[in-house]
Chains A and B, each alone.
Chain A
Amino acid sequence: MTARIGVVTFPGSLDDRDAQRAVRLAGGEPVALWHRDADLQGVDAVILPGGFSYGDYLRAGAIARFAPAMTSVVEQAGRGLPVLGICNGFQVLCESGLLPGALTRNAHLHFVNRDQRLRIESADSAWTSGYTAGQEVVVPVKNGEGCYVAATAVLDELEGEGRVIARYLGSNPNGSARDIAGIRNAAGNVVGIMPHPEHAVENLIGTAGSDGLGFFTSVLRSLVTT
């Protein structure tokens, strides 16, 4: 049976269709979820896509976090539901407390949009198990508020527990602390990543190839084997 992966659409989401497409290309069945609906339709995993939910009003992700769908996501993530937050989705995960730290305005103020080299630092999560630690990939990055910040003690804890799952290589696109591009929760089912693996899932489009597909095949494999 094919795993069903929900993609939550908030007002202002941009990359929900791309995330659905990535799920399909990885071999899963995408399920469109609506922010106002607390019913997650029994999906096996959830993706919070990129974009500008609620126009990034107040703070990026601050209002989306109170959506009925998010209440269900937070509750089920606590029971092990795999959740991937990409870009704005990462911001929502931090605002909702599923991941520590916060994402602030890029240190240089510019919106960055380019292919970005990353090193996958940990294959020990539901969404990166298909990579090997130390593997280099290229996926697009596009953000205005992607600068990851957290207290030094939190950063040390993330590093110490191997919870930094991806790091920027070459130039840091947004000033993120310790070049952090993505992190996971302690259990490994919740992952937030600022660059966009869903935009690098087929060789036909763009220059980044299909390096991002692994995030989606990883979760599908973990759902089949668990």
Chain B
Amino acid sequence: MTASLPVMAVHQVVVDVMLKPEILDPAGQAVLNALPSLGLPAAQGLRIGKHVELALVAEDADTALEQATKMAEVLLVNPVIEDFTVRLLP
């Protein structure tokens, strides 16, 4: 018996970054206020965030999620003002 080598594959991972609820989102506010002036239904709330799509080469999905989380913590997100979620794309 030989141990099977890990099979590397490309995993599509999404990191969604949002301003923390207590941080003012002036851009979201401006868009929110623009809705009714365009004849669109008024919204109760509107917040704008960042959607980051990563193509990661890893042996399994968990490893890819781990890598994405690390990237978020070090660079993609400023924890002082932002929260994030990480998920796999099907």
A residues adjacent to B (C-beta < 8 A): 58-59, 62-63, 66, 94-95, 100-102, 104-109, 147, 149-151, 175
Q: Which of B23, B30, B75, B76 contacts A149 (CB 8 A)?
A: B23
Whole-angstrom distance between the alpha carbons of A58 and B49 in the complex?
11
Q: Which of B27, B78, B80 contacts A105 (CB 8 A)?
A: B27
Distance of A134 from chain B, by nearest CB (Å): 30
Q: Looking across the interface, which residue of chain A has its beta carbon closest to that of B80?
A: A102
Whole-angstrom distance between the alpha carbons of A100 and B78 in the complex?
12
Whole-angstrom distance between the alpha carbons of A147 and B27 in the complex?
13
Q: Looking across the interface, which residue of chain B has its beta carbon closest to that of A66?
A: B75
What per-residue 1/0 map shows which CB atoms of B42-70 lie under 8 Å from chain A?
A: 00000000000000000000000000000
Contact between B24 and A59 (Cβ–Cβ < 8 Å)? no
B residues adjacent to A (C-beta < 8 A): 19, 23-24, 26-27, 30, 75-76, 78, 80-81
Distance of B71 from chain A, by nearest CB (Å): 11
> Per DSSP, are chain B's interface residues mostly helix, strand or loop, or mixed?
mixed
Whole-angstrom distance between the alpha carbons of A147 and B78 in the complex?
15
Residues of A within 8 A of B76 (CB): 58
- 9 closest A-B pairs by beta carbon, nearest first, are A102-B80, A102-B81, A109-B26, A105-B26, A107-B26, A102-B78, A59-B78, A107-B24, A109-B30
Whole-angstrom distance between the alpha carbons of A58 and B72 in the complex?
11
Q: Looking across the interface, which residue of chain B has its beta carbon closest to that of A147?
A: B24
Contact between B75 and A101 (Cβ–Cβ < 8 Å)? no
Whole-angstrom distance between the alpha carbons of A101 and B19 in the complex?
14
Q: Which of A58, A101, A106, A108 contacts B80 (CB 8 A)?
A: A101
Contact between B78 and A175 (Cβ–Cβ < 8 Å)? no
Q: List 26 A-B contacts (CB under 8 A).
A: A58-B75, A58-B76, A59-B78, A63-B75, A66-B75, A94-B80, A100-B80, A101-B80, A102-B78, A102-B80, A104-B19, A104-B24, A105-B27, A106-B26, A107-B24, A108-B26, A109-B26, A109-B27, A109-B30, A147-B24, A149-B23, A149-B24, A149-B81, A151-B80, A175-B24, A175-B26
Residues of A within 8 A of B81 (CB): 102, 104, 149
Q: Looking across the interface, which residue of chain A has its beta carbon closest to that of B52?
A: A58
